[in-house]
């Protein structure tokens, strides 16, 4: 499929609950292989050219994440100022198309690699996380995004360092999210924001041992 792992994104494209294999090209175009169980089961189904890439953005700034809670990974462009332009996945090119959602988040950083879109509240929509230079994380929960319900500021959270090493990611830091999200239980409105204890920020280097990995249990709000 490709020898360039920086182009690979694993995300549920068709909403069946399984991570599909997506390749994003430098021009922002994308092809998808639907996961029917992988090589040791029912294989993969190719959907070639599901995103044409015309005007969508370049490969390194693309994040695939479900922004509207329909179970399908949407096509998100992280702009130079950290703002997000979202194209809602209705099936992709020749399979239902895309709906231009416009700007779903205003810019909060000029470092595109510091932005991660992942669901930390368990409500089914990708939240907006910014990893700071001190490895603290500023989280905004997704209530629908700009113009569609807005965002809720969850504040800064710090994390302790682990003393043991963990296996390195197979993704390069240029495209791998700087934060590894782990599933959370749905949060009641009266629960404290310590639900962020299951966020484990790290910056994988793709080979050997990774840089220091941070503890999933935060020290508390920064």
Domain assignment present for residue 186? The answer is no
Say yes or no to pLDDT of 196 above 70.
no
Domain assignment present for residue 95? The answer is yes
Sorting pLDDT into bands at 50, 70 and 90, what band is 41? confident
How many domains, the chain?
1
Domain assignment present for residue 63? The answer is yes
Domain assignment present for residue 184? The answer is no
Domain assignment present for residue 124? The answer is yes
pLDDT, mean over the chain: 75
Least confident of 26-35, 63-72, 193-202: 193-202
Say yes or no to pLDDT of 180 above 50.
no
Full domain range(s) for residue 70: 5-157
Domain assignment present for residue 111? The answer is yes
Domain assignment present for residue 187? The answer is no
Say yes or no to pLDDT of 133 above 60.
yes
Say yes or no to pLDDT of 174 above 70.
no
Sorting pLDDT into bands at 50, 70 and 90, what band is 54? low
CA-to-CA dists, residue 32 to 35, 72, 80, 92, 136, angstroms: 9, 13, 26, 10, 33
Say yes or no to pLDDT of 206 above 90.
no
Domain assignment present for residue 222? The answer is no
Contacts of 97 (CB under 8 A, 6+ apart): 90, 91
Sorting pLDDT into bands at 50, 70 and 90, what band is 53? low
Say yes or no to pLDDT of 60 above 90.
no
């Amino acid at each position: 499929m490709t020898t360039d792992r920086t182009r690979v994104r694993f995300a549920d494209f068709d909403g069946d609950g399984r991570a599909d294999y997506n390749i994003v090209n430098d021009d922002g175009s994308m092809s998808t292989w639907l996961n029917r169980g992988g090589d040791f089961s029912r294989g993969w189904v190719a959907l070639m050219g599901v995103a044409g890439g015309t005007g969508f953005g370049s490969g390194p700034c693309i994040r695939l994440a479900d922004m509207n809670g329909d179970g399908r990974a949407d096509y998100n462009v992280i702009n130079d100022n950290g703002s997000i332009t979202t194209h809602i996945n209705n099936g992709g090119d020749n399979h239902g198309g895309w709906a231009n959602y416009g700007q779903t988040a205003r810019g909060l950083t000029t470092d595109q690699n510091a932005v991660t879109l992942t669901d930390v509240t368990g409500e089914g929509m990708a939240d907006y996380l910014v990893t700071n230079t001190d490895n603290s994380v500023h989280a905004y929960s997704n209530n629908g995004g700009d113009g569609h319900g807005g965002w809720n500021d969850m504040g800064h959270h710090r994390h302790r360092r682990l003393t043991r090493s963990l296996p390195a990611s197979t993704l390069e830091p240029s495209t791998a999210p700087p934060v590894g999200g782990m599933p959370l239980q749905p949060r009641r409105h009266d629960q404290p924001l310590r639900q962020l204890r299951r966020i484990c920020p790290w910056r994988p280097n793709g080979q050997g041992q990774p840089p220091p990995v941070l503890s999933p249990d935060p020290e508390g709000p920064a």
